[in-house]
Structure 1
Amino acid sequence: MTVNEDSFTNWKNREEIAESMIPIIGKLHRERDVTVLLHSRSLVNKSVVSILKAHRFARQIAGEELSVTETLPFLQALAALDLGPSQIDIGMLAATYRSDDRGLSVAEFTAEAVAGATGENKIECREGRDVVLYGFGRIGRLVARLLIEKAGSGNGLRLRAIVVRGGGDQDIIKRASLLRRDSIHGQFQGTITVDEANNKIIANGNEIQMIYADDPAAVDYTAYGIKDAILIDNTGKWRDREGLSKHLRPGIAKVVLTAPGKGDVPNVVHGVNHDMIKPDETILSCASCTTNAIVPPLKAMADEYGVRRGHVETVHSFTNDQNLLDNYHKAERRGRSAPLNMVITETGAASAVAKALPDLDAKITGSSIRVPVPDVSIAILSLQLERETTREEVLDYLRNVSLTSPLKRQIDFISAPDAVSSDFIGSRHASIVDAGATKVDGDNAILYLWYDNEFGYSCQVIRVVQYVSGVEYPTYPAPVA
């Protein structure tokens, strides 16, 4: 047999193993509300090839490819346990098992590692939490996709309604079509039908009521059977407490804004300061996509090296706020054609750092350039550290942060030498460290941080909503603090 045939046979064997993993992963998710991860990447509803690619990606982070032959036994061990709702990272199970010298079997080690999710310790499945979307633009539709994807066993978040301004003929059909097909993020993974008579979109079995209203005060959500819901405002029309309080109508318990909040509205970056949300807080903000991209790595660097001062320059994809062709715009420069120009503009991300990291005693400045790409941006974070270090030390540290720390869902790491912006479309991390572009000279460090300013940010929004709704389940093995 030739070498090529050996490689092909090996590939077919791995395909077969990955194929056998899919029903186990699906059953754990549907029946027990368990999300199986591989180095923070969900394996739920993934294809054979996607599972194999997730295993291969581990090579870029950990230095060697992770094999499905290594992770399958851990998945089988999980299936044999009495698990409660949780997130379990089989990549981390395999990695920690390698370094364990006690001679435990895979089943014994797995049972010990996830003990907090089994038996008397496990969280019991609870009734799902209603969610309402106010607005249905770029972020709203991606958040809707994520909510539908995460419906799982029905015990988590449930998208019940979408509120939009009244449209013309076939309004709901056109909006359903925009949910079904996206020029950047591709086709919706599932089926979508429209009940035009009752103004409902049915997506993967989830009935979503379309509500037409020009004013938040005009809606009584209880009339649609909605109760104790979290409303996600992705219009950006109201940003202070007074304006957002208009949403606190019958049926709505909390309001989450997908833009930087003003005044005393808490700006939350999941993974950094989400645990500071007060239980009785009814209004909060998820800050901006750029704030979510820079704050987690900034916190990581401050924790390890200390930060004296910094500057962030964001090279940002254009947005709906800009004009397609030159036309009047109330803001400076933004009236010029977005797909034809680089446009210097402002960013509030630097000032938002103080809200997310109040203990950071460092001045952070920032500016932004909009460029002619429709999605994915890069933040160039230049830092003066409190101690000298080396490029190798910083990269090793950030690689480990992306693998094992509490920030591993926020920070990703890539060492591919030819990575470009389109490679990060669909990334679920808030920020991806580009190892090849990183520069360190003594106490100066420059980090190049990619981020999908649409999808990655939407994932952060969902994480905040899961946390405040009480359905953010613990992750096992526990991240290293």
Structure 2
Amino acid sequence: MTVNDDSFTNWKIREEIAESMIPLIGKLHRERDVTVLLHSRSLVNKSVVSILKTHRFARQIAGAELSVTETMPFLQALTALDLGPAQIDLGLLAGMYKADDRGLSVAEFTAEAVAGATGANKIERREPRDVVLYGFGRIGRLVARLLIEKAGSGNGLRLRAIVVRGGGAQDIVKRASLLRRDSIHGQFQGTITVDEDTSTIVANGNAIKVIYADDPSAVDYTEYGIRDAILIDNTGKWRDREGLSKHLRPGIEKVVLTAPGKGDVPNIVHGVNHDTVKPDEQILSCASCTTNAIVPPLKAMDDEYGVLRGHVETVHSFTNDQNLLDNYHKSERRGRSAPLNMVITETGAASAVAKALPDLKAKISGSSIRVPVPDVSIAILNLQLSRETTRDEVHNYLREVSLTSPLRRQIDFTTAPDAVSSDFIGSRHASIVDAGALKVDGDNAILYLWYDNEFGYSCQVVRVVQHVSGVEYPTFPATAV
């Protein structure tokens, strides 16, 4: 048999195993609210090839490809357990099992590693929590996609309505079309139908009422059967507590802003300070995409090395706030054509760090350049550390943070030598450390952090909403801080 034959046979074997994993992953998700992950990447609703690619990706960060032949026994062991709602990472299970020298079987080790999600320890399944989207632009539609995707067993978050201004004839049809097809993020994974008579979009069985209103005060959400909902404001029109309080109408319990909050509105970066949200807090912000990109790695570096001062330069994709062609704009420079120019502009991300990391004493400055790409940005984080280190040490530390730390859902890591911005479209992490671009000289470190400023940020928003609504389930196996 030739090498080519061996490779093809091996592929077919792995393809068959991945195919048999799909119903097991789906059943755990639908019936028990268990999300199966691989190095923080969900395997729910993934194709055979996607599952195999996710396993292969482990080669970049862990140094060796993770085979489905290694992870399948752990998945089979999970199906035999009395599991409650949880997130379970097969990559962590396989890695920790390899390092364990007690001679346990896969079934025994798995039962021990996820004991916090079984039997008397398991969390009871939550009742569905209503969610309303106020505004349906770039972030609103991506958050909608994520909420629909995560509907799972019907427990958890349930998108009940979107609120928009009336747009004339076939408004709801056009909005459904924008949800169905996206020039950057591709086609919606599923089916979408429209009932114009009832002003409803049905996406993968989720009936979403489209409410037309020019102002929050015009809506009584209880009229639509909505109770104790979390409203996500994607418009950015109101950013202080007084303005956002307008959303606290009948049927709405909490308001989450997808832009930096002003005044005393808490700016929350999931993974860093989401645990500080008070149970009775009704209004909070998810900060900006750039703040979400830089704060987790900044925290990681400060925890290990101490940060004395820093500067962040963001090279940011253009946004709807800019003009396609030169025209009047209230801000300086943003009136110039976005697809034709690099545009120097301001960023509030550096100043927002203090809200998310109040214990960080370092002064962080920042600036931004908008460039002619439609999505994915890069933040260059230049840090003076409190001690000298080496490139290899920082490289290995950040790789480990991306694999096993509490920030592993926020920080990703790539060693791909030919990586460019479009490779990170659809990333669910807040930022991705580019290992090849990392620079360290004594007490100075420069990190290059890619981030999908649309989709990665939307994932962070949904994580915050899951947390404040009580449907964010613990991840197993637990890892050291």
Q: TM-score when scaled to structure 2?
A: 1.00
TM superposition shift of 1:480: 1.8
The answer for the alignment partner of 1:435 in structure 2 is 435
Matched, 1:82 2:79: no
Q: Which amino acid aligns with 1:224?
A: Y
Matched, 1:300 2:291: no
TM superposition shift of 1:125: 1.0
The 1-side partners of 2:90 and 2:128 are apart by 26
SS at structure 2 position matched to 1:69: helix
Instruction: Tell me the alpha carbon deviations over residues 226-249 of structure 1, each in whole angstroms, 9 at most, x when there is no partner.
Output: 000000000000000000000000
Q: Which amino acid aligns with 2:174?
A: K
The answer for the alignment partner of 2:209 in structure 1 is 209
The answer for the alignment partner of 1:229 in structure 2 is 229
Q: Which amino acid aligns with 2:12?
A: K
TM superposition shift of 1:124: 1.1
Where does 1:445-460 land on structure 2 (aligned, <5 Å)?
445-460=445-460
Q: Which amino acid aligns with 1:326?
A: D
The answer for the alignment partner of 2:422 in structure 1 is 422
TM superposition shift of 1:379: 0.1
Matched, 1:14 2:14: yes
The answer for the alignment partner of 1:397 in structure 2 is 397
The answer for the alignment partner of 1:241 in structure 2 is 241
Where does 1:149-228 land on structure 2 (aligned, <5 Å)?
149-228=149-228
Instruction: Tell me the alpha carbon deviations over residues 238-280 of structure 1, each in whole angstroms, 9 at most, x when there is no partner.
Output: 0000000000000000000000000000000000000000000
Matched, 1:254 2:254: yes
The 1-side partners of 2:463 and 2:366 are apart by 26
Root-mean-square deviation (CA, aligned residues, Å) is: 0.3
The answer for the alignment partner of 1:363 in structure 2 is 363
TM superposition shift of 1:166: 1.1
Q: Which amino acid aligns with 1:440?
A: V
Q: Which amino acid aligns with 1:469?
A: S
The 2-side partners of 1:4 and 1:166 are apart by 59
Q: Which amino acid aligns with 1:204?
A: N
The 2-side partners of 1:296 and 1:417 are apart by 23
Q: Which amino acid aligns with 1:350?
A: A
The answer for the alignment partner of 2:55 in structure 1 is 55
TM superposition shift of 1:309: 0.2
TM superposition shift of 1:186: 0.1
The 1-side partners of 2:374 and 2:246 are apart by 32
Q: Which moved more, 1:124-133 or 1:252-261?
A: 124-133
Instruction: Tell me the alpha carbon deviations over residues 353-382 of structure 1, each in whole angstroms, 9 at most, x when there is no partner.
Output: 000000001000000000000000000000
The 2-side partners of 1:124 and 1:83 are apart by 10
Instruction: Tell me the alpha carbon deviations over residues 182-206 of structure 1, each in whole angstroms, 9 at most, x when there is no partner.
Output: 0000000000000110000000000
TM superposition shift of 1:290: 0.1
Matched, 1:29 2:29: yes
Q: Which amino acid aligns with 2:146?
A: L
Q: Which amino acid aligns with 2:312?
A: V
TM superposition shift of 1:126: 1.8
Instruction: Tell me the alpha carbon deviations over residues 383-404 of structure 1, each in whole angstroms, 9 at most, x when there is no partner.
Output: 0000000000000000000000
SS at structure 1 position matched to 2:23: helix
Where does 1:320-359 land on structure 2 (aligned, <5 Å)?
320-359=320-359
Instruction: Tell me the alpha carbon deviations over residues 85-108 of structure 1, each in whole angstroms, 9 at most, x when there is no partner.
Output: 000001100000000000000000
The answer for the alignment partner of 2:4 in structure 1 is 4
Matched, 1:380 2:371: no
SS at structure 2 position matched to 1:198: coil
Instruction: Tell me the alpha carbon deviations over residues 404-430 of structure 1, each in whole angstroms, 9 at most, x when there is no partner.
Output: 000000000000000000000000000
TM superposition shift of 1:167: 1.2
The 1-side partners of 2:105 and 2:2 are apart by 36
Task: Give % identity.
Answer: 88
SS at structure 1 position matched to 2:382: strand
The 2-side partners of 1:124 and 1:336 are apart by 54
Instruction: Give the count of matched residue pairs.
Output: 481
TM superposition shift of 1:479: 2.9
SS at structure 2 position matched to 1:375: coil
Q: Which amino acid aligns with 2:101?
A: D
TM superposition shift of 1:478: 1.1
SS at structure 2 position matched to 1:388: strand
The 1-side partners of 2:478 and 2:61 are apart by 19
The 1-side partners of 2:318 and 2:376 are apart by 9
SS at structure 2 position matched to 1:338: coil
Instruction: Tell me the alpha carbon deviations over residues 132-186 of structure 1, each in whole angstroms, 9 at most, x when there is no partner.
Output: 0000000000000000000000111000000000110000000000000000000
Where does 1:86-101 land on structure 2 (aligned, <5 Å)?
86-101=86-101
The 1-side partners of 2:3 and 2:222 are apart by 66
The 2-side partners of 1:303 and 1:173 are apart by 50
Q: TM-score when scaled to structure 1?
A: 1.00
The answer for the alignment partner of 2:412 in structure 1 is 412
Structure 2 gap ranges (5+): none
Q: List, as ranges, runs of 4+ consecutive aligned residues in structure 1 with deviation greater than 2 Å.
A: none
The answer for the alignment partner of 1:279 in structure 2 is 279
The 2-side partners of 1:459 and 1:385 are apart by 30
The 2-side partners of 1:277 and 1:124 are apart by 22
Q: Which amino acid aligns with 1:358?
A: P
Q: Which amino acid aligns with 1:89?
A: D
SS at structure 1 position matched to 2:253: strand
Q: Which amino acid aligns with 1:305?
A: Y
The answer for the alignment partner of 2:132 in structure 1 is 132
The answer for the alignment partner of 1:46 in structure 2 is 46
Instruction: Tell me the alpha carbon deviations over residues 53-108 of structure 1, each in whole angstroms, 9 at most, x when there is no partner.
Output: 00000000000000000000000000000100000001100000000000000000
The 2-side partners of 1:199 and 1:84 are apart by 37
The answer for the alignment partner of 2:73 in structure 1 is 73
SS at structure 2 position matched to 1:339: coil
